[in-house]
Amino acid sequence: MTALHLDDLKQYSDVLRARDGREIRVRFVEPRDREELQNYIRSLSAGSRYSRFLGALSELPKSELERFLHVGEADRFTVVATMLVDGFETIVGEARYAFHADTSSVEFGLSIDDRWQGLGIGKALLNNLECRAASLGAERMFGDTLRSNATMIGLARKSGYAFTASPGDWKLVRFAKEIHVEPQDIPCASWRLAAVSRSAAMSSLAV
């Protein structure tokens, strides 16, 4: 179990920058996002949806949408990246990550709206996911993508991930990265704070 206070999701909100300086907010998904999140998934190009979910779907099946909305359940988390478009907070990306305590690892997948790809948002979101993973105590990040997904492979390579075959599926490649980082060295302020208070809480339990 994580030590996040999930009754107040809003405190875990970060501001990132796209390459052109545009402000992107990353926050946990909330119940109010249900319809917009589904519309976001529907609006992705068929190719982006296939790459993200490793199969053909036009929208999230109802049960999967519910899982996406239940932040923290089974140590799985969904975040949305939002931007102000014409004055409205608009979802321009999403990511889902799962903390596997047995292997101290975080598995993740992400997508960026086709209209906003290539602007450095994926890279910024990935950096943010690494902070989130480190604050959970993870020592490794990994994900699987299609061997044909040059963009994700390029992003992972540029972010220092190494590649191996994905277990059980020759069409996929696994990218993984060690992220041994002490709580006080986590490069995102909010997650550094969360990690420092988590490790303080754990050491007070140990005495």
Ligand X SMILES: CC(C)(COP(=O)(O)OP(=O)(O)OC[C@H]1O[C@@H](n2cnc3c(N)ncnc32)[C@H](O)[C@@H]1OP(=O)(O)O)[C@@H](O)C(=O)NCCC(=O)NCCS
CA 120 – CA 26 distance, rounded (Å)? 14
Residue 190 near ligand X by CB under 6 A: no
Choose, by CB under 6 A, the member of 41, 120, 161, 190 that binds ligand X: 120
Choose, by CB under 6 A, the member of 118, 171, 187, 189 that binds ligand X: 118
Residue 145 near ligand X by CB under 6 A: yes
Choose, by CB under 6 A, the member of 2, 43, 127, 151 that binds ligand X: 151
Residue 127 near ligand X by CB under 6 A: no
Give the ranges where 147-206 is alpha helix by DSSP (H). 150-158, 189-206
Among residues 71 and 92, whose Cβ is nearest to ligand X?
92
Site string for ligand X, 94-113 (x = CB under 6 A): ---------------xxxx-
Contact 205, 1 (CB under 8 A): no
Among residues 5 and 158, whose Cβ is nearest to ligand X?
158
Among residues 110 and 186, whose Cβ is nearest to ligand X?
110
CB of 88 vs ligand X, minimal distance in Å: 21
Cα-to-chain-centroid distance, residue 59: 19
Contact 24, 14 (CB under 8 A): no
CB of 145 vs ligand X, minimal distance in Å: 4
Query: Among 140, 110, 99, 127, which residue's Cα sits nearest to residue 4?
Result: 99
CA 207 – CA 193 distance, rounded (Å)? 22
Among residues 108 and 183, whose Cβ is nearest to ligand X?
108
165: left (phi over 0), alpha (psi -120 to 50) or beta: beta
CB of 11 vs ligand X, minimal distance in Å: 26
Choose, by CB under 6 A, the member of 128, 149, 166, 190 that binds ligand X: 149
Positions that interact with ligand X (CB under 6 A): 48, 51-52, 109-112, 117-123, 143, 145, 149-152, 154-155, 158
